[in-house]
Amino acid sequence: MTINEDSPQYATGTALVTGASSGIGAAYARRLAARGHDLVLVARRAERLKTLAAQVSEEHGVRVDTLVADLSDTGDLDRVVARAAGDDIGMVVNNAGINGYGPFAETDPALLEKVIAVNVVAVTRIARAAVPGMLARGRGTVVNVASTLAFAGSLPPDPLPTRAVYGGTKGYVVTFSRTLAAELTPSPVRVQVLCPGLTATEFHLTQGQEPVGGAEARVHDDGGMPVEDVVTASLRALETGEVVCVPGLVDGAAVDRVTAAETGLRASATSTLAPRYAQGSRQ
């Protein structure tokens, strides 16, 4: 499919995709290359990036650069941030993420810091690097990949994972993306937050300290939605203007109901104490 350069749905120029060595990130790389985007692919696994870059370049005739980087490493992140600020960047897909699943009181604090670094700090810094240039050029798209676990804070684990920090980081991504999208309206720069549920990737095969080994992509035993369907939903949502894209959500109005509930909560930001707290209170 050829990009319509007059259409606001898709930015032209180079697309920078993090976490591109497998799963959702690799699927974005293939689909965006098919749409005519040159690519900058970012991930920790050099050989997988090299293989993917060669494939999409040969199949679609686009330029593909690779950046081998661990986004929890400040020096590596600095290099990616510098590239995201390039004049040619028309789209950013902040897809890289790690889970750090485990009981909060038992999980290595260093791993939890790594989860925050990759899922929050890197997403924020890369978007911050790209957005000013997009605004100056009058077009651009930022897609931040979150998770339906962003909406599962009060639900206990089993069958859901033990996920306090991971869920918190994805909640940040949702709020950050929605608030930024509102801030940038009515500019032509688009922001989307993609919230997939369980997806057929390697994600559950490691907590994230190290990438999954091997040259071939694998799928965890839990299965889930195919990555192609997840990316299809995201690209379609860009066409229809959805800021929050939940690929498996049949009732799209559910997002509007969340917004309405938030409006009700915000209406309580007054100087008057709610009666249920005032009644029976002790001096």
User: Is 172 tagged catalytic?
Assistant: no
For residue 198, the Cα-to-chain-centroid distance in whole angstroms is: 14
Choose the catalytic residue: 10, 28, 166, 172.
166
C-alpha to C-alpha distance for 35 and 198, rounded to whole angstroms: 26
Asked if residue 238 lies in contact with residue 91, where contact means CB atoms within 8 angstroms, the answer is: no
Handedness of CA 92, 247, 221, 165 (dihedral sign): positive
Give the H/E segment covering residue 244. Answer: strand 244-245
In the block, which residue shows the tokens 């510098």? Answer: 82
Cα distances (angstroms) measured from residue 148 to each of 51, 84, 127, 247, 257: 31, 27, 21, 10, 16
Position 218, amino acid: R
Among residues 177, 224, 232, 225, the alpha carbon closest in space to that of 34 is found at 232
Q: How far apart are the first and last CA of the chain?
A: 69
C-alpha to C-alpha distance for 156 and 9, rounded to whole angstroms: 38
Catalytic residues: 166
